[in-house]
Copies of this chain bind each other. A is one copy, B any other.
Amino acid sequence: MNKPFQTFDEQSDASQCPPRLTALRTELRRRGIDGFLIPRADEHQGEYVPKRAERLAWLTGFTGSAGIAAVLLEKAAIFVDGRYTLQVRNQTDTSLFETLDIANDGLANWIEANLPKGATLGYDPWLHTQAAIERLRSSVERAGGSIVPLSTNPLDAVWPDQPEPPRARAVPHPMELAGESSQSKRTRLAADLEKRGVDAAVLTLPDSICWLLNIRGADVPHTPFALSFALLHSDASVDLFMDPKKSSPELITHLGNQVRLRAPDEFGAALDGMADKSVLADPVWVSGFVFDRLEKAGARIVRAADPCQLPKACKNEVELAGTRKAHIRDGRALSRFLAWFAREAPKGSLTEIDAVEKLEEFRRATGGLKDLSFDSISGAGPHGAVVHYRVTRKTNRKIEPGQLFLIDSGAQFVDGTTDVTRTVAVGEPSAEMRDRFTRVLKGHIQLALAKFPEGTTGAQLDAFARRPLWDVGLDYGHGTGHGVGSYLSVHEGPQSISQRGTAQALKAGMICSNEPGYYKTGEYGIRIENLVVVREAEDIPGGEKKMLGFETITRAPIDLNLVEISMLSEEERDWLNAYHASVRAAVAPALANDADARAWLEEATRAI
């Protein structure tokens, strides 16, 4: 068997905190700096970062996907969001690091309260976005200190065995998967830059560059990024700053002669060359390093959204056809898994890790698995209520009769990225579990059925998924849907279906998750997640507006043992039956050699 994509070892060791923190402080004193900020970020601001950029984990032991530490000479703190409040306390040395909530300006307030007057707070300008630095600067100034970019990272100086930057081979993402040539993408984006009087756009988001150039890589876990920087010029040419070791003759041919491959360390000098040019950079995503350098160079900076993000999110028909195929393939694996689980789990000896390993095995058996799109969340009983639970050998639980089991997982196939959550009952569920599950399902269906006019944002639709829970005083503490890439990141913008959401309207071709849930702390968790594609709705007789709607593309049974049929409206029941019929039609033929699984599927997708 190949090396597994998911492992279960503790990745963190708080006993390393004291010597490492001491070493960092010694380095800060040597440089005459009074403090330093360590974000969980690399130069590209993606969700997954290479090992080399896991500075926050190295220093604090905290391995979550978001957070920042502030180290002063006498005090230190780590800031994480609500998902990680418990985890950070388990992972770090709390005698050294105060653990605080990052929400409500936690970091800014802490700096204002703790930074000594006249102190100098350092930061690595590559690792913070311009917007983040601007917010921090005013806090530091209110504290009477100053915030200064450091030309080299002091933590790197004291991390003896810091890994090298990744140099995985970048490969072309072919036309039959991308559906539009890089030439075509570059030309239409360049025309728009030209129209706006912009000479060039700085791109540092890896999904933007991979999409624009139709390339993929393997520099970080779970996401096929080829890390690089780029300048897109208004003549549709591109300077691509990427380690030449990642290249190949095939890649050079693919990129063509409008894309100049240059070494990453030439990026700064290229920015210096933008004097008097009008240069677009997105302060929400592009690092302070780039902004400082452009400013010093005398460029006219146009602060605007990364021009790749919206077109990348609106998938073309080729990408959609690919992702539909990927979802049927994934549904096959998931259906085999669920059939296996239905047979084995009642015996009472399965563990959360067993489930993850078995599901990875079924996904590998499809023949096309490039990676998991994230570490599977496999939560039995109370672990299901931990929204971002990640099982380790230490936390691994038996899955027991009477429990709910929640599994949230996804795959990276070259034709599409999947993300799906199913919650299943082991043995007989309680009436409360059925009630809650049915409410989550009703919300899921109400969102899936929604039709809405062009211009509608995800924030306007989010409450459709919550209403059945709201009706009885319940809710869930996360967004209802995030964007999903096309063999790219499993979490992508600019759209979102959530309480606060973004100003971005939903547009045809966007892929989103639809994942309401309900979590009863200490008892169980429920989440039902399908991916949906935003599509133009069919014409309605008498309709006046061009309406959009959702096409559900995930293909896996929803546990009917948890559905209280009498709570469904006729429309909801029709949706569920039609959905299950579509699962059966897509998945059953592939189970021809597995009579047990096939029989299970027929039963699991029966009309109710």
Q: A: which residues have CB within 8 A of B? A: 432, 450-453, 455-456, 459-464, 467, 470-475, 499, 537, 539-540, 542-545, 547
Contact = CB atoms under 8 A, between A and B. Distances in A.
Main secondary structure of the interface of A (DSSP, over half): loop
Contacts of A464: 463, 467
Given A459-B460, A463-B464, A543 B451 contact: no
Contacts of A470: 450-453, 547
Contact of A544 (B459, B474, B537): B474
- Number of copies of this chain in the oligomer? 2
Contact of A475 (B463, B471, B545): B545
A463 B474 contact: no
Contacts of A456: 463, 499
A540 to B, nearest CB: 4
For the complex of A and B, the 5 pairs showing the least CB-CB separation, nearest first, are A473-B543, A473-B540, A460-B463, A451-B470, A473-B547
Given A450-B467, A467-B450, A540 B460 contact: no
A456 to B, nearest CB: 8
A207 B546 CA distance: 41
Contacts of A537: 473
Given A432-B542, A473-B539, A475-B545, 13 more contacts: A452-B470, A453-B470, A453-B475, A455-B499, A456-B463, A459-B460, A460-B463, A460-B499, A461-B463, A463-B463, A463-B464, A474-B544, A475-B544
A545 B518 CA distance: 13
Given A543-B472, A543-B473, A545-B473, A463 B467 contact: no
Residue among A451, A460, A461, A545 facing the most chain B CB atoms (10 A cut-off): A460
A545 B544 CA distance: 39
Contacts of A462: 460
Contacts of A475: 453, 544-545
Contacts of A432: 542
A21 B460 CA distance: 44
Residue among A451, A462, A473 facing the most chain B CB atoms (10 A cut-off): A473
B474 A545 contact: yes
Residue among A432, A463, A464, A540 facing the most chain B CB atoms (10 A cut-off): A463
11 contacts: A450-B467, A460-B460, A470-B547, A472-B540, A472-B542, A472-B543, A473-B543, A473-B547, A474-B542, A474-B545, A475-B544
Contacts of A544: 473-475
Contacts of A473: 451, 537, 539-540, 542-545, 547
Contacts of A467: 450, 464
Nearest to A460: B463
A452 B460 contact: no
Nearest to A503: B500
A278 to B, nearest CB: 12
B471 A451 contact: yes
A543 B474 CA distance: 6
Nearest to A435: B542
Contacts of A451: 470-471, 473
A460 B470 CA distance: 13
